[in-house]
Chains A and B, each alone.
Chain A
Amino acid sequence: MAAPTVPESKQLQYISQQAADSRVNVEFETEDGMTLNIGPQHPATHGTLRIITRLDGEQVISCEPVPGYMHRGYEKLTEVRTYPQVTTLINRIDWLGSFANEVPFILAAEKLMEIEAPPRARYIRTILFELSRMANIVLFLGDLGAQLGGVTAVFYAFRDREFVLNQIEAVTGGRFHPNFDRIGGLKDDLPKGWIAETKKCMTRVHDFCDELEDLLIGNEIFQARTRGIGVIPANVGLSYGLSGANIRGSGVDWDIRRDHCPPGLVYDKADWKVCTHPDGDSFSRSWVRLQEVRESAKIVDQLLDSVPSGPVMAKVPRIIKVPEGEAYVATENPLGQMGYYVISKGDLVPFRVKIRSASFNNVSIVPWVTRGVFVPDVITILASLYFILGDIDR
């Protein structure tokens, strides 16, 4: 039992050292080239990733991301929270698609408890999952434009994202930390008139996609800045654990929703397709994401027509104790594959939760993919890989 007692002198030493560390916010020349520090914070970002690049002229020799400025100790905190409390925490991992974070954890707990959510809950879960995907990727597309100098896209994205958030808020009460998923079902049923409203919202999402395709994806400057930049071959991407649109942009036809969807989500009830792009560059990743929003809207449209009636909550005990066992459940989240490896000892709290978050793997390829590119392309590559800092650092 080693309780670390940190003396004050040591704390000061640490803070000064760290302050000195973060003072390296300027460029300085070294013997072989120049070191450029990007970050840890930038007004255009939400979250903090520091990147240290070594340059030779305009070309990147090496690039090392320094994550950890957002590390909040999720894996430890899940060991001291009860199962219902954990969902409150894990909402905040990928904060743009919060509901999607809850689902794999709840599914893992359900798998261990051998509970199945009623059919209506499964449909609503899938719909909300897709709505949070839209809220997430719509902002990505706007942000991508902003990072590449086309600020207009952000305004469109924030405008149309509000309509999706309204729908999520109408059901869950939270704009983007719903904490709505429960072991065995959902907290509440849909509000009256929600299905019709959501249908209207989906036409807006389709319009947004068309608009953005003209505005951004079809833009000549955008294409010039993204095509052929940051090419990731499929086998390299897989060995780095890239998932989601990043790996589909490299031509790997693999989507968890279609191929091995965990029980509890009903993607097989809708007719949709998985989009891939063979190029593997920044453009293809962005293009695949835009198509995913379209497909999501299609899925939601179809599922809305066929939501079965019935209860939204299965019979579960008041105080949840999950039986002993281990389970790994992964779902196709907006950022890629997100999985929870839950080890239970039959207690109130999980014994160990390994959170496999998508951005962590997606960003770990940055040193590989940025070798030899030019400085502006680093921004393109980072924007197109699409990470959320909470999802890297947890």
Chain B
Amino acid sequence: MNQLSSADTEAPPADQQAEAPRDERREALISLFSAEIGDAVVGTHIRAGDDLWIRITREAWLETARFAQQRLRMDFFDFLSGIDWRPSPYGRDMDSQEDIVVHGTEPKEPPAMATGYAGGDTRFQVFARVFSTASHEGVTLKADLPDDDLSIDSWVPVYAGANWHERECHEMYGFTFNGHPYPVNLYLPGDFEGFPLRKDFPLLARRVKPWPGIVDVEPMPGSDDDEGAEGGDS
């Protein structure tokens, strides 16, 4: 396999790889997918010599899995999970933007919602990765879920290992997997409220107590300037 990807990670995703080096194997893989499921392929992204992303429609989710497993010999089920593309309240400071308000500081403007590789139109996405143990190639599949109907077909009939992953995804995001044999909580107690991995789920402990690094600042070892003493506040 290749060395560190030379593809430009900062380039806009989806369909734009004119600058990047070509990757014939993965392009061939995309054309195989397009030939099978046609218009259901909505967006693609290649990081040359490294990885492949394909975004498909929600309706083609199960059919694509079956095609990948049976025809492309992507026999290894890697993982399945969800993404919430709502801008995160974390990351611009050490404390969440919402918690800063509680402690009396002005929050920073949240950026516009932006999706990742292979694009996306909705807030929620399901993504999964399958892999071929013969050719050592993997593909990350994504599908958009509209806000008013967070449901998608279950992969359990094709990849049995999707069972637990879908249960986890169900309790973490609130997605429904049609046809799942046993859709109950996997991790959380039955009466847990909220969906923890959604970006608007608050971590209440942080409400009560700010990030300890803000209160308890240690200077960086070996530095006289107090740049490091800002506690990671950039």
Does the CB pair B88–A345 fall under 8 Å? yes
Per-position binary interface string of chain B over residues 191-225, scored 1 when its CB falls under 8 Å from any chain A CB and 0 otherwise: 10110110011111011000000000000000000
Which of A43-51, A214-222, A290-298, A346-354 is the contact stretch?
Answer: A346-354
Does the CB pair A112–B136 fall under 8 Å? no
Does the CB pair B196–A76 fall under 8 Å? yes
Does the CB pair B133–A254 fall under 8 Å? yes
Chain B interface, number of residues (Cβ within 8 angstroms): 67
Per-position binary interface string of chain B over residues 53-71, scored 1 when its CB falls under 8 Å from any chain A CB and 0 otherwise: 1000000000000000100
Per-position binary interface string of chain B over residues 36-79, scored 1 when its CB falls under 8 Å from any chain A CB and 0 otherwise: 00000000000000110100000000000000010000011111
Q: Whole-angstrom distance between the alpha carbons of A251 and B211 in the complex?
A: 49
Which of B15-23, B25-33, B143-151, B158-166 is the contact stretch?
Answer: B158-166
Does the CB pair B75–A235 fall under 8 Å? yes
Which of A303-311, A324-332, A376-384 is the contact stretch?
Answer: A324-332
Which of A30-38, A259-267, A269-277 is the contact stretch?
Answer: A259-267
Does the CB pair B136–A259 fall under 8 Å? yes
Shortest CB distance B113–A (Å): 11
Shortest CB distance A15–B (Å): 10
Residues of B within 8 A of A240 (CB): 77, 159-161
Q: Whole-angstrom distance between the alpha carbons of A116 and B5 in the complex?
A: 11
Residues of B within 8 A of A263 (CB): 3-4
Q: Whole-angstrom distance between the alpha carbons of A343 and B216 in the complex?
A: 29
Residues of B within 8 A of A235 (CB): 75
Q: Whole-angstrom distance between the alpha carbons of A365 and B116 in the complex?
A: 32
- Interface assignment of A316: CB less than 8 Å from any CB of chain B: no
Q: Whole-angstrom distance between the alpha carbons of A241 and B162 in the complex?
A: 9
Does the CB pair B81–A343 fall under 8 Å? no
Residues of B within 8 A of A236 (CB): 160
From the candidates B87, B93, B160, B197, name the one contacting A239 in the complex (CB within 8 A). B160
From the candidates B4, B93, B160, B204, name the one contacting A116 in the complex (CB within 8 A). B4
Q: Whole-angstrom distance between the alpha carbons of A187 and B186 in the complex?
A: 37
Does the CB pair A239–B4 fall under 8 Å? no
Residues of A within 8 A of B107 (CB): none
Using CB atoms, name the residue of chain A closest to B1.
A260
- Interface assignment of B177: CB less than 8 Å from any CB of chain A: no
- Interface assignment of B10: CB less than 8 Å from any CB of chain A: yes
Shortest CB distance B81–A (Å): 5
Shortest CB distance A284–B (Å): 18
Q: Whole-angstrom distance between the alpha carbons of A235 and B158 in the complex?
A: 12
Chain A interface, number of residues (Cβ within 8 angstroms): 65
Does the CB pair A75–B161 fall under 8 Å? no
- Interface assignment of B94: CB less than 8 Å from any CB of chain A: yes
Using CB atoms, name the residue of chain B closest to A107.
B4
> Per DSSP, are chain B's interface residues mostly helix, strand or loop, or mixed?
loop
- Known contacts: A75-B197, A76-B196, A361-B77. The answer to whether A252 contacts B133 by CB under 8 A is yes
- Interface assignment of A360: CB less than 8 Å from any CB of chain B: yes
Per-position binary interface string of chain B over residues 85-114, scored 1 when its CB falls under 8 Å from any chain A CB and 0 otherwise: 001101111101010000000000001001
From the candidates A79, A259, A318, name the one contacting B227 in the complex (CB within 8 A). A318
Does the CB pair A76–B186 fall under 8 Å? no
Residues of A within 8 A of B191 (CB): 10, 14, 17
Q: Whole-angstrom distance between the alpha carbons of A368 and B181 in the complex?
A: 14
- Interface assignment of A88: CB less than 8 Å from any CB of chain B: no
From the candidates A14, A67, A239, A356, name the one contacting B79 in the complex (CB within 8 A). A356
- Known contacts: A116-B4, A328-B51, A328-B129. The answer to whether A2 contacts B234 by CB under 8 A is no
- Interface assignment of A321: CB less than 8 Å from any CB of chain B: yes
From the candidates A6, A110, A239, A368, name the one contacting B75 in the complex (CB within 8 A). A239
- Interface assignment of A68: CB less than 8 Å from any CB of chain B: yes
Does the CB pair A239–B77 fall under 8 Å? yes
- Interface assignment of A9: CB less than 8 Å from any CB of chain B: no
From the candidates B78, B117, B185, name the one contacting A326 in the complex (CB within 8 A). B117
Residues of A within 8 A of B4 (CB): 110-111, 114, 116, 263
- Interface assignment of A281: CB less than 8 Å from any CB of chain B: no
Shortest CB distance B108–A (Å): 11
Task: Return 26 A-B CB contacts under 8 Å, by A number.
Answer: A1-B98, A4-B204, A14-B189, A17-B190, A17-B191, A68-B185, A80-B203, A82-B232, A111-B4, A111-B5, A236-B160, A238-B76, A240-B77, A254-B133, A318-B228, A319-B232, A326-B117, A327-B9, A328-B51, A328-B138, A341-B129, A345-B111, A352-B84, A356-B129, A360-B165, A368-B160
Interface residues of A (CB under 8 A from B): 1-4, 6, 10, 14, 17-18, 67-68, 71, 73, 75-76, 79-80, 82, 110-112, 114, 116, 235-236, 238-243, 252, 254, 259-261, 263, 318-319, 321, 323-328, 330, 337, 339, 341, 343, 345, 347-349, 351-352, 354, 356, 360-361, 364-365, 368, 393
Q: Top 8 nearest A-B pairs by Cβ distance?
A: A347-B91, A325-B9, A68-B187, A241-B161, A240-B161, A71-B187, A349-B91, A241-B77
